[in-house]
Amino acid sequence: MAMEAGQIKTLIQDAFPDAEVTIEDLRGDGDHYAAQVISAAFTGKTRVQQHQMVYDALKGKMGGDLHALALQTKPKD
């Protein structure tokens, strides 16, 4: 079952209320997305830690409802 971009954005923003979140459906199939997430919560975290934080925010949807997510994260300035 595919996810909508709005669902992904909501899950991320629920976990990171200050986040700037951009979601793009790469193939138009609801299974392959790109996301850019900018949040102060990432300050002092490695890129791997930042990505793990976002995957945690997706509450187990990654690999199931959400097939692929090209993720870019960075701390908010």
Q: Please give the tally of structural domains in the chain.
A: 1
Q: Is the pLDDT of residue 1 over 70?
A: no
Per residue in 23-32, pLDDT (tens digit) is 999 988 778 8
Three-state SS at 22: strand
Identity of the residue numbered 49: Q
Per residue in 26-70, pLDDT (tens digit) is 988 778 899 999 999 999 999 999 999 999 999 877 767 777 889
- Its pTM surpasses 0.95: no
User: How many residues appear in the chain?
Assistant: 77
Residues 53, 45 contacting (CB under 8 angstroms): yes
Task: Tell the residue number behind the tokens 């994260």, with chain if given.
Answer: 73
Identity of the residue numbered 21: V
Task: Tell the residue number behind the tokens 């993720």, with chain if given.
Answer: 71
Task: Tell the residue number behind the tokens 């199939």, with chain if given.
Answer: 29
The CATH number for 48's domain is 3.30.300.90
- Domain membership of residue 52 as a residue range: 5-75
